Structure 1
Amino acid sequence: MRLSRAPLACVGAMVLAGCLPVMGGYRMGPVDEMLPSLPDRCGLAALSGLTGQPMERLADFRLIGPLRVLWPGQEITNEIDPTRLNAQVDVTGRILRLACG
């Protein structure tokens, strides 16, 4: 008996497209909906004044945790890492917003 690969391929395509929940129960969505305001646990206070600057300026600072660069139109999961710095940038790489999470 030979099984069809179509159902498996369909489920795989839906997972890759973000139509099914991501592992761990995380959901995906636009940055503004998925990135809540959090207390400063990522060293945000030391980075004041970088809005409007090229994201390369972040290399001048020692970050507490990981850095995630968020490009226009990018979707993210609702997974939160309090020490992660999120740098929302425009298409030219200029910083629009910095947030922990």
Structure 2
Amino acid sequence: MPPLRTPDGRWIVVDGRRWRAADPELPEQVRARLLHHLGAARSAVRTAQRADDQAAVTAARARVGAAKRGLGERGTPWWEQDSDARSERWTAALAELDPS
């Protein structure tokens, strides 16, 4: 079951806590890539913490932050951005997470 959303759609509510919802304007393929990066980065945080590798923890947390910014869950709220700024946000996040 998907989490509850506030009437304005900007927030989800999980266990009574309000969290910023992902940008609904994200193309599905972009959302999937960002969620993949987010999951991999969270896993890397746990692995680095178990290994007591603070440099790796810091790097993995930076990847978590980049993925969450791309999703619109951090940084300037997506509802305050126009479509071009929103597209630039997720494009920049993917460029950071998918260096080619």
TM bucket, shorter chain: under 0.3
Point out the structure with the larger strand share: 1
Tell me: higher relative CO, structure 1 or 2? Use CA pairs within 8 A at least 6 residues apart.
1
- The TM-score with structure 1 as length reference comes to 0.24
- The TM-score with structure 2 as length reference comes to 0.24
Larger gyration radius, structure 1 or structure 2: 1
